[in-house]
Amino acid sequence: MADMTGKVVLVTGASRGIGAATARAFAAQGALVGVMARSTDAIRDLADGIGGVALSGDVAVPADMQRAVAALVDRAGRLDVLVNNAGLIGPIGDLAETDPGEWGQAIDVNLKGVFHGMRAALPVMRAQGGGTVLTVGSGAAHSPQTGWSAYCASKAGALMLTRALDHEARSDGIRAISLSPGTVATDMQAAIRDSGINPVSQLDWSVHIPPEWPARTLVWMCSPDADGFLGSEVSLRDEDIRRRVGLVA
């Protein structure tokens, strides 16, 4: 686990699941964590509990991401890590029957939200000489699933954004890495199960990993041990990664 003492971290979609676990994991390693959700009511207790900063905003709105980054910079003078975690699984269903507005909303959050976060953080990180941008991706970026057209397309695009950022900004000290966590026991996974669509919904709940696993992995990804994955993806399905993070013996 990386020592994050004195570091400033922004986690989007921090009200529950992987986001909330990630905020706690970074705080436990000494970071000041900005926890962002659409409503501060959803994350105020979490922020208070970890000594962090509650930030309201929608990642799909560029100005909201700019304000969140500015608030942390005003508070602490820097931003060392951005965790693009906010995401939507829906709409789940046949592509031809999907509501265009709902489909577009998934793109706005899962893909454009990542872009807005990167765009807001990049000038700050460049000015201070570096930083780390982590994006919570998915195996769906590589493997299409029935009923998940928006999710698969947006996650594939988000992975390409990670590669693009690395291509453009590694020389400025920016570390860009994606995490494919596998199936995680969160509310999103419950929605997948309830849909009954595609094989993922049929998985037994016991096979899903706890959200603390990807959270700890995201902290590890801030360490030099993860430098070999710059511009690419860390997969938590990989047993070697699980050992390197310390999740399994």
Residues forming the active site: 151
Residue 198, C-beta contacts closer than 8 angstroms, at least 6 positions apart: 145, 146, 147, 148
Query: Exposure pattern of 10-46 as b/e (b: 16+ CB <10 Å)?
Result: bbbbbbbbbbbbbbbbbbebebbbbbbbbeeebbeeb
Strands 32-37 and 131-136: unpaired
Edge-to-edge strand list for the sheet holding 174-180 = 53-56, 32-37, 8-11, 81-84, 131-136, 174-180, 233-235
Torsion angle in degrees (nearest 10) through CA of 208, 188, 100, 198: 30
